[in-house]
Amino acid sequence: MMRISTFGTRRWVLGTAVCGVLITGCSSGGGDGGDAKPRAKPAAEAKPLDAGALRPLLLTQADLGAGYTQVQDESGDRKFDDISIQGCPALDKLSQRDEENMFAAKAEASFTYDRDATLGEEVHSDRPSVLSSKLRELFGAYTSCPIYTMTSGTTPIEVKISKSVTPELGDEQFAYTSTMELPSGAQVLKTMAVRKGNVAVMLVGAPALVDRHVKTAVGKLPAGG
């Protein structure tokens, strides 16, 4: 059984394919009979921030404006224990390496908007190359399957995935849209992540809310890293 890791979500889905960014130095050789120049040292990567440093980077009600209410989620990952996925080998493979998909630090927040719509946010930190490779793996896994089935308890839910356009923000951007065929009708959620150095922000929720607030969320991230 697969536990859904967050983002694309905790509120529904998140996933990434190993295409890491390797940071290497340049080197050059001498001419015939010359001594080779010493290899340059690789550029040092920024270290991860801790959870305490990430919490101030989260969106607040003041950032979002009127109509938003922050909600507390005390159930943690337990509410995903009865969720499994069928019909997507990449996601199944990803679930077998759960611990490898953990970032060094995380902070999260959840909001409702006008009672019906939701917006979830997670801010992660790790070395830039680790963030890059794992985000690529997560989003690569989810977008590799245009259609799969998610079972919650005994209820099968058809999920359709499509890649989404991303704004030119930060160092890397990832996004996809999920359409879930629920008994009550179709629900559409958008998942978007932007990496900026050693920090990444991920939003999931109603597409209009994600698009409206992603620039503000990225704007709260540190300039360096």
Q: Give domain 51-219's CATH superfamily.
A: PknH-like extracellular domain (3.40.1000.70)
Distances (CA, A) of 39 to 22, 36, 44, 129, 225: 16, 9, 15, 21, 24
Q: So where are the chain's domains?
A: 51-219
The predicted structure's pLDDT at residue 224: 65
Question: Where is average pLDDT lowest: 11-20, 67-76, 92-101, 113-122?
Answer: 11-20
Specify the 3-state DSSP secondary structure of 219.
helix
pLDDT by residue (tens digit) across 81-114? 567 888 999 887 877 665 445 799 999 999 999 8
pLDDT digits (tens, 9 = 90+) for 130-168: 999 999 999 999 899 999 998 877 888 999 999 999 999
Q: Are 42 and 161 in contact (CB under 8 A)?
A: no
Threshold 0.85, pTM exceeds: no
